[in-house]
Amino acid sequence: MTTNGREKSAERRPAELYTGSERPYDPEDLVKVSGREPTPASLEWARRLIAEEGPGAIERYLP
């Protein structure tokens, strides 16, 4: 029996787990995950950060 009291799990888990930089993302994604509003200034900040740090820039904002 599962924790939801049923024979089968209530949800299906993904077969593989991914971190943020393993899949493509754009500056708006980086802005949103950092808790900011997508304004022209914050989108420019995200573009610069991606250019400076590469795809791994989003890693600091993800659990």
Q: Where are the domains of the chain?
A: 1-63
pLDDT at site 51: 96
pLDDT at site 55: 85
Taking alpha carbons only, the member of 42, 22, 17 closest to residue 32 is 42
Q: What's the rounded mean pLDDT across residues 39-63?
A: 92
pLDDT at 9 over 70: no
pTM of the model: 0.66
CB distance 2 to 8 below 8 Å:
yes
pLDDT at 25 over 80: yes
CB distance 27 to 50 below 8 Å:
yes
pLDDT at site 1: 47
- Residue 47: pLDDT band (50, 70, 90) is very high
Block residue for tokens 């029996």 = 1
Distance CA 18, CA 9 (A): 21
